[in-house]
Every structure is written in C-alpha cells, then in structure tokens.
Amino acid sequence: MATLLVKNGRVITADSDSVCDILVEGEIIVAIGKNLSVQADETIDATGKLVMPGGIDPHVHLDMPFMGTFSSDTHETGTRAALHGGTTTVIDFVLQKQGHSLREALTEWQGRATGTAVGDYSFHMAVTDFNPSTKEEIKDMVVEGITSFKTFMAYKGALMIDDAQMVGLMQEVKKHGGLVTAHATNGDLIDTLIAQHRAAGKLTPRYHYLSQPEVTEAEASGRFCDIANYTGVHAYIVHLTCEGALNQVRRATERNQRVLVETCIQYLLLDASVYRDDFEGAKWVMSPPLREKKDQDTLWAGINQGLVQVVGTDHCPFMLEQKQLGADDFSRIPNGHPAIEHRMELLFSEGVMQGRISPQKFVEVTSTNAAKIFGMFPRKGTISIGADADLVLFDPKKKHTISAETHHMNVDYSAYEGRELTGKITTVLLRGQVAVDAGETKVERGYGQFIRRGPVKF
Ligand code: DUC
Ligand code: ZN
Ligand code: ZN
Ligand code: ZN
C-alpha cells in the first residue's frame, strides 16, 4: 500500500500540541512520532505549518428542496468547497416529507449523494411526521448508521412537529441509543409575528429579523431541554444564536442535565445590523436570524465555558436570483447563507488569531467534538494511529481575502465578501489522498464516502 509521510508539522489535536511526523499507509494513520525514520513513497514537508484533524461540519443542507426551490450546492459542489476549506466530512439533513416514510426520504438523498460527493458525508434524519409507522423506522435508521434525528420546532405545515410528537420521538430514539437534535424556535409565535408584519405592509428583510426575536428561540430551547430531561434522551440544539437560549442550557445544567450545543460561524462573526429596508439584507436571511453584539460575546464565552461544543455552518446557499423570490415579501426569501468553505479559516482568523480561543479549542469545536457527539470518533475527529488520515495543513501566517470570485461554492455571492483573514489552508488530505493542494482539487467526483455512525461518545 502507498505510504505518505507528513514531516515536521506542528500537530494539534484536542489534547496534544507538538512538532512531529505522521506516517500514512493507504487511508489510515499508522505512525506518529518525532523524526520518524521511514522511507515513504511521498513526503510532504509541513515545517512551519499547523497540522490538524480534517474538519467536520455537522450542519449542512446540500441540494435541499426548501421554500419552493433547492439549495444551490449539490453534494458534489458542496463537499468540494468544504474540502477547500479543510472540512473533510459533512453531515447533511435528509428531510422526511410529511405523510411519507423515512425510508423514502433516505433513498432520495442517497440518490443525490452516492457517487457524486467529493468529500466524506453522513446524514441526519429530519423527522417531520412522527407517527406509529415512522416510530417503527427509527431502529432501521440506526442500523443504516444514522443515529441522529433532527426536529424542527418551527416551519409549521412543512417541517414542524408538535410537543406530543417530540416526546414520542425522544422516547423511541432513547431506546436505540441515538441523539435528538432541534431547530429550537417557537414556530407558532414566529408565524404570528410574520402575519402581523405582512398585514401591516412591513415586507423588507428587516422584518424577517423582527419576526424571530430572542424570545422565540429562548422559549423553544427551554422547552426542548425540559422534554429531553423528562425522557432522558441525548439532546443537541443546532444553530444556537443567543444569550436567552444559552441561558436555558445553563439552567438545564443546574439539574445535572447535559444538553449539547452547536452554534454556527455566522452567529459569532456577523450581527443584525445587516438587516435594513433594502434588499441587500436578503443575503443573510436565515433562521434563526443574526443577533446582537451581546449574543456574540455570550457565544464566545460559551465555547470557552464548554457550554457550546460545536461550531458548524447551517450552510444553505441560494443564488441571488433565488433570493429574489422574496423581493416583495421577506417571508418568501429562501432562508440560508453560504459558509461551508470558510468556517475553519474564519474561525481560525477571528478566534485563534484574535486570542478568543486556543488552537486546541479550535480543533475541538471544528472537528473532535462533532466526531464524538455524532458517533464517528476516533475514526474521524483526531490524529491517532488507526484513524482516517484526514489532515489539514495550515499556514498560520498567510493572509488572504474572501471573495465570490475565488470561492468554490455554487453561489454567486459571498456572505463574507472582502473579509481579510490571517491563516490559510494549504493542503488537505482525505483518507490518505491529497484532496486539495495549493488551491487545486486533487480528488474526483464520487471520491466521498458515506460514513456510518454509531452512538454518542461524548
Ligand atoms: N435555517 C436556514 O436558514 N436554512 C435552512 C433551514 C434552517 O433552519
Ligand atoms: Zn410515500
Ligand atoms: Zn434550522
Ligand atoms: Zn439547518
């Protein structure tokens, strides 16, 4: 089997930081040590670079039917862009159609991703209609390696489940050792505010934001924690954005409950000042919306306090023409923004280089914690003997600027246009193959594999 030696890099994992060599054989790491005296088929000199585990983005929506259109990155373009940004594994959401089975939805998503994904991927199952027949399918999904079940507490009529379904789902998932995750916002409250704004002729992107105030998220987050506590299931809140919601998680810890929390890069770096009465703000129309400076401070602190374990993206890109579906009505703007490619470099530059988080915390929240929570550890999420050789080589000094002109995502704008970053990914390995080097993709469509997952190990 072919061997590859990554020499002399500063190797950073969630629990170590030292200059050493990594020997890869085939897809797997087989040795780690200082000055390994081996003759490999290929050697990469990583002197002066950081070498970190390939990123895991556990929150992406690729080729997803949503709000009358499809998110614009396919499994091919989305995973390729992810690789350019050091993310070697993504977890995408399969959406059950209400009135239909989980199996049908899974088959549909497998049809889109199999043989097209460039990077590794897995699926969460979004249960949008929990009933006696879907209840029977939960164990089948676990057998398929799909151990996390997503719920929407909003988007009534399309995706939302009620509390009765929530409790039933949690009880069933608990039996099979799985995890229940939630888009935790109060759908009824949001729908009421949207209707009030529309009735008053308030139709610009700013009213998207004003229809989802902090209370809509804090209330649902608290309710989700409470029901999860009652059932005892492993629980995880996706894209948590604000102080009010994180305080509900903090409250849960006071009764010795642990609720796992993901935030997304945009909630750390961008704020609600982008929502004005012109249409430009549509670029950042997402749910939940961007929040305030005080919420950013809460989230950075939450990461260092261990209350926030994961930084994902909720990558859900739409072309500007698709955003135009809501030109006359904010409630029809497809929700979502593109970020899959820049999560790691943004977090490194704004987090590590600005002294807000340590390099090891960076590895935890971009990779290791997601691998543990979503049942892929230690195959993914670390640099250890026997793990997949998913490695990111990072030049911490190199400066560059984000632009839609140069990104790889299939979307015609950047949510971070013109932002200057310090630190650039130079080489990415996925299962022992050089997947990206000096800005060029080195693996083909179809190289990405479906990753079967096990129970929570966090
Ligand atoms: N929020 C978004 O912004 N897009 C996709 C789905 C979601 O919950
Ligand atoms: Zn059907
Ligand atoms: Zn969501
Ligand atoms: Zn999402």
List pLDDT tens digits, range 65-84. Answer: 999 999 999 999 999 999 99
pLDDT at 81: 99
CA of 61 from ligand 4 middle (Å) equals: 6
Out of 93, 316, 323, give the residue to mutate to test ligand 1, the one with the largest number of ligand atoms within 8 Å of its CB.
Answer: 316
pLDDT band at 451 (very low <50, low <70, confident <90, very high): very high
What value does the mean pLDDT take over residues 292-318?
98
Among candidate residues 84, 22, 91, 121, the one with its CA nearest the CA of residue 428: 84
**How close are the terminal C-alpha atoms of the chain, in Å?**
33
Q: At what angle do helices 243-253 and 293-304 cross, to 10 degrees?
A: 30
pLDDT at position 326, please? 98
107 band by pLDDT with thresholds 50, 70 and 90 = very high
Pocket of ligand 1 (CB under 6 A): 61, 183, 286-287, 314, 316, 335-336
Q: In this predicted structure, what is the pLDDT of residue 392?
A: 98
Atom of ligand 1 at shortest distance to CA of 152? 8
Q: Which among 239, 191, 261, 189 has a CA at the least distance from the CA of 219? A: 189
Q: What is the mean pLDDT of residues 333-337?
A: 98
Output the CA 308–ligand 3 centroid distance in Å. Answer: 17
Output the average pLDDT for the chain: 98
Return the ligand number nearest the Cα of 60. Answer: 4
Tell me the per-residue pLDDT of 336-385, one tens digit each, with 9 for 90 and over.
999 999 999 999 999 999 999 999 999 999 999 999 999 999 999 999 99
Query: Which pLDDT does position 89 carry in this prediction?
Result: 99
**pLDDT band at residue 263, thresholds of 50, 70 and 90?**
very high
Ligand nearest to the CA of residue 104, numbered in listed order = 2
pLDDT recorded at residue 50: 98
Nearest ligand, CA of residue 133?
2
Which fold is adopted by the domain 54-374? TIM Barrel (3.20.20)
Residue with tokens 């997402």: 286
What residues have CB less than 8 Å from 233, skipping those under 6 apart?
A: 170, 171, 173, 174, 178, 179, 180
Q: If we measure between CA atoms, which residue out of 185, 180, 179 comes closest to residue 166?
A: 180
CATH 2.30.40.10 intervals, the chain: 3-52+379-395+420-441
Residues of the chain with CATH 3.20.20.140: 54-374
The four Cα atoms 370, 54, 95, 245 give a dihedral, to 10 degrees, of 40
DSSP string, 298-355: HHHHHHHTTS--EEE--B----HHHHGGGTT-GGGSPP-B--TTTHHHHHIIIIITTT
**CA 316 / ligand 4 centre spacing (Å):** 7
Q: Which atom of ligand 1 is nearest to the CA of 285?
A: 3
Rounded distance between C-alpha atoms, residue 219 and residue 189, angstroms: 10
- State the distance from the centre of ligand 3 to the C-alpha of 239, rounded, in angstroms: 7
pLDDT of residue 161: 98
Q: What is the distance in A from the centroid of ligand 1 to the CA of 286?
A: 6
**Ligand 1 atom nearest 155 alpha carbon:** 8
What pLDDT is recorded for position 68?
96
Q: Closest Cα to atom 4, ligand 1: which residue?
A: 336
Phi-psi region of 101 (alpha: psi -120 to 50; beta: other; left: phi over 0): beta
Q: What CATH fold (topology level) applies to the domain 3-52+379-395+420-441?
A: Urease, subunit C; domain 1 (2.30.40)
DSSP code at position 225: H
The alpha carbon of 456 and the centre of ligand 1 are apart by a number of angstroms equal to: 24
pLDDT in tens, 47-59: 999 999 999 999 9
The band of 105, judged by pLDDT with boundaries at 50, 70 and 90, is very high
What was the pLDDT predicted at 199?
98
Residue 267 Cα to ligand 3 midpoint, Å, equals 13
Tell the burial category of 395 from Cβ atoms under 10 Å away from its Cβ (0-12, 13-18, 19+).
middle
pTM for the model: 0.98
The fraction of the chain above a pLDDT of 90, given in percent, is 100
- Which residue lies with its CA nearest to atom 8 of ligand 1? 287
How confident is the model over 414-430, as pLDDT tens digits? 999 999 999 999 999 99
Secondary structure element (H or E) that encloses residue 9, with its range: strand 3-13
The pLDDT value given to residue 279: 97
Q: Which helix (H) or strand (E) holds 433?
A: strand 433-437
The pLDDT, as a whole number, for residue 373 is 98
Cα 335 to ligand 1 centre (Å): 5
3-class secondary-structure state, position 199: helix
Nearest atom of ligand 1 to the alpha carbon of 238: 8
What pLDDT is recorded for position 208? 98
Nearest CA to ligand 1 atom 7: 287
Report which ligand 1 atom has the smallest distance to the Cα of 154: 8
Amino acid at 141: M
User: Which pLDDT belongs to residue 141?
Assistant: 98
- The pLDDT value given to residue 136: 98
Q: What is the 3-state secondary structure (H, E, C) of 355-402?
A: CCCCHHHHHHHHHHHHHHHCCCCCCCCCCCCCCECCEEEEEEEEEEEC
